């Protein structure tokens, strides 16, 4: 891109010189091109007045500097136009920041430093967050901080895996603080990224599906019930709703969803403000409205997704899908069904979006067959859970857990090779 801008600057300079009447060589060349095949001898030129001769002199230094300043302005404008944020980049940044904000780094920091406790799943959780940062095309203003945060998280994951509390505790604090600052800066960048290129058709389905997945898991039902039945606003409610609202802003919604997406964003933004002001009277009805609108919107988006042929294919999309897959507690579901035979009301709703998530990624050849098999298992499990069929759901939950674990390991290997190869 820099070469293109430089070439344009050179062309502009050449054009400026070529069009100047002070460049007789250019006009002489033009005259030769327009003359007859056998030109007649030209009469001797008459002597020019001194004033005219002076005007035909080479441009002054001041004039050249003025031209250069004009060209620099043009190049700056071209450079700015070339750096317009792409839709795909904004979507990837927004998704990564959302997942980073909900990764539980605060809880890990508090537990390690106040309770001196490392849980078995801590290392894997932090490693997933670290890996999330590696497949995003961060803008220049965020790239260095993203690399530093990744290094801290990777070191923390290793310390947790080694059960080294002395090493892990300060790293957890550093990761928590760095992630907080990074998220704040990323949100500022997203707020300024108002000019977005149109999404490519292959990436739109993945972006829509990811946004719906995150929206479905934003806890709007719980907030609605708590505000209207218990009259309680928790400290983190405003941030939780603000993140859900922000998810809606960087998706190039299809025409059939765009208006409803804008309306839902408005409702969520108003709810976040009311929660931030601790205004229960304003927040309670908005929570009900947001809950209902989000439910309808999710349903319509699923219908739109079902009618598409999707083919997104990027390491970031594979990694995001894998992150979301790893974050669903299929182990806990399988254990609960096996030990207690209990199906909870939200179980089917949690598994169904996970199955749908797998359908909007163009998996590499090494993963495609297993992704398809896992999707079929998850879909069958979602149906059994919706039917409250414990006998059918229990073995499917065990199979889904095992398959998802194996698939996650294979996908991580593929991502590692992709990163090493620089693809």
- How far apart (Å, rounded) are the C-alpha atoms in residues 365 and 335? 32
pLDDT one-digit tens code per residue, 180-193: 899 888 878 876 66
Say if CB 1 and CB 75 are below 8 A apart.
no
Query: Following CA atoms 74, 77, 81, 82 in sequence, which dihedral angle do they give, to the nearest 10 degrees?
Result: 60
Classified as helix, coil or strand, 92 is helix
- How far apart (Å, rounded) are the C-alpha atoms in residues 55 and 75? 29
Buried b (16+ CB within 10 A) or exposed e, 383-397: bbbeeeebeebbebb
- Residue 256 — very low, low, confident or very high, per pLDDT cuts 50/70/90? confident
pLDDT at 114: 93
SS (H, E, C) 365-402: HHHHHHHHHHHHHHHHHHHHHHCCCHHHHHHHHHHHHH
pLDDT one-digit tens code per residue, 155-165: 999 999 999 99
pLDDT at 145: 93
What tokens appear for 124 in the block? Answer: 């894997």
pLDDT at 195: 43
- How far apart (Å, rounded) are the C-alpha atoms in residues 214 and 242? 13
Instruction: Give the percent of the chain with pLDDT over 90.
Output: 29
Say if CB 382 and CB 374 are below 8 A apart.
no
Say if CB 22 and CB 59 are below 8 A apart.
yes
pLDDT one-digit tens code per residue, 317-329: 777 777 778 777 8
pLDDT at 412: 81
Range of lowest pLDDT (71-75, 102-106, 122-126, 340-344): 71-75
Phi, psi dihedrals of residue 20, rounded to the nearest 5°: -75, 135
**Residue 310 reports pLDDT greater than 90:** no
pLDDT at 18: 45
Range of lowest pLDDT (26-30, 269-273, 313-317): 26-30
Q: How many CB atoms lie within 10 A of CB 5?
A: 17
pLDDT at 12: 47
**Phi-psi region for residue 341, left (φ > 0), alpha (ψ -120 to 50) or beta?**
left
pLDDT at 355: 82
**Residue 62 reports pLDDT greater than 80:** no
What tokens appear for 61 in the block? Answer: 């230094």
Q: How many CB atoms lie within 10 A of CB 347?
A: 21
**Residue 1 reports pLDDT greater than 70:** no
pLDDT at 420: 56
Domain spans of the chain, in order of start: 87-192, 205-304, 328-421
Averaged pLDDT for residues 276-280:
93
**Residue 358 reports pLDDT greater than 70:** yes
**Phi-psi region for residue 214, left (φ > 0), alpha (ψ -120 to 50) or beta?**
alpha
pLDDT at 70: 63
pLDDT at 176: 93
Say if CB 60 and CB 24 are below 8 A apart.
no
Question: Under 8 Å CB-to-CB from 183, ≥6 apart: which residues?
Answer: 97, 100, 101
What tokens appear for 43 in the block? Answer: 């009469």
Report the Cα–Cα distance between both ends of the chain, in Å, rounded: 20
- Residue 280 — very low, low, confident or very high, per pLDDT cuts 50/70/90? very high
pLDDT at 281: 95
Say if CB 297 and CB 386 are below 8 A apart.
no
- How far apart (Å, rounded) are the C-alpha atoms in residues 65 and 58? 13
**Residue 25 reports pLDDT greater than 70:** no
**Residue 244 reports pLDDT greater than 90:** no
pLDDT at 291: 92
Averaged pLDDT for residues 271-297:
93
- How far apart (Å, rounded) are the C-alpha atoms in residues 403 and 375? 10
Query: Shortest CA distance to 92 belongs to which of 33, 36, 138?
Result: 138
Q: Using alpha carbons, list the distances in angstroms from residue 81 to 68, 85, 97, 154, 233.
A: 20, 9, 25, 36, 44
Task: Tell me what the pLDDT averaged over the chain comes to.
Answer: 77
Query: Shortest CA distance to 410 belongs to which of 310, 318, 311?
Result: 318
Between residues 288 and 191, the one the model is more confident about = 288
Between residues 423 and 344, the one the model is more confident about = 344
pLDDT at 332: 86
Between residues 32 and 149, the one the model is more confident about = 149
**Residue 336 reports pLDDT greater than 80:** yes
Q: How many CB atoms lie within 10 A of CB 141?
A: 12
Q: How many CB atoms lie within 10 A of CB 326?
A: 21
- Residue 10 — very low, low, confident or very high, per pLDDT cuts 50/70/90? very low
pLDDT at 86: 63
pLDDT at 112: 94
SS (H, E, C) 191-240: HHCCCCCCCCHHHHHHHHHHHHHHHHCCCHHHHHHHHHHHCCCCCCHHHH
pTM listed for this prediction: 0.47
């Amino acid at each position: 891109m820099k070469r293109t801008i430089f070439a344009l600057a050179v062309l502009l300079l050449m054009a400026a010189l070529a069009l100047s009447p002070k460049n007789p060589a250019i006009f002489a060349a033009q005259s030769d091109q327009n003359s007859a095949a056998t030109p007649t001898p030209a009469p001797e030129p008459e002597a020019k007045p001194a004033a005219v001769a002076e005007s035909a002199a080479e441009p002054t230094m001041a004039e050249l500097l003025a031209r250069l300043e004009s060209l620099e302005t043009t190049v700056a404008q071209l450079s700015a136009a070339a750096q317009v944020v792409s839709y795909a980049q904004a979507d990837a940044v927004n998704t990564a920041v959302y997942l980073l904000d909900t990764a539980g780094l605060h809880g890990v920091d508090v537990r390690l430093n106040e309770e001196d406790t490392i849980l078995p799943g801590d290392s894997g959780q932090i490693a997933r967050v670290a890996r999330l940062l590696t497949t995003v095309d961060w803008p220049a203003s965020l790239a260095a901080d993203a690399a530093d945060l990744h290094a801290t998280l990777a070191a923390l994951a290793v310390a947790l895996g080694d059960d080294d509390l002395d090493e892990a505790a300060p790293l957890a604090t550093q990761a928590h603080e760095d992630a907080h600052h990074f998220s704040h800066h990323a949100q500022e960048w997203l707020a300024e990224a108002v000019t977005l290129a149109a999404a490519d058709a292959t990436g739109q389905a993945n972006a829509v599906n990811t946004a719906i997945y995150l929206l479905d898991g934003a806890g709007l039902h719980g907030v609605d019930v708590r505000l209207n039945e218990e009259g309680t606003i928790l400290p983190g409610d405003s941030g939780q709703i603000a993140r859900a609202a922000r998810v809606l802003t960087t998706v190039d919604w299809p025409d059939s969803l765009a208006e409803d997406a804008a309306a839902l964003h408005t409702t969520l933004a108003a709810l976040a403000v009311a929660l931030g002001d601790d205004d229960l009277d304003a927040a309670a009805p908005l929570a009900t409205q947001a809950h209902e609108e989000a439910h309808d919107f999710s349903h319509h988006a699923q219908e739109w997704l079902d009618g598409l042929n999707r083919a997104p294919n990027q390491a970031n999309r594979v990694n995001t899908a894998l992150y979301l897959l790893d974050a669903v507690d299929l182990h806990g579901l399988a254990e609960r069904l096996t030990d207690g035979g209990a199906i909870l009301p939200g179980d089917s709703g949690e598994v169904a979006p996970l199955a749908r998530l797998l359908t909007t990624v163009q998996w590499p050849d090494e993963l495609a067959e297993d992704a398809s098999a896992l999707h079929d298992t998850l879909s069958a499990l979602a149906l059994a859970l919706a039917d409250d069929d414990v006998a059918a759901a229990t073995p499917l939950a065990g199979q889904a857990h095992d398959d998802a674990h194996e698939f996650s390991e294979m996908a991580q290997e593929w991502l590692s090779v992709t990163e090493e190869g620089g693809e």
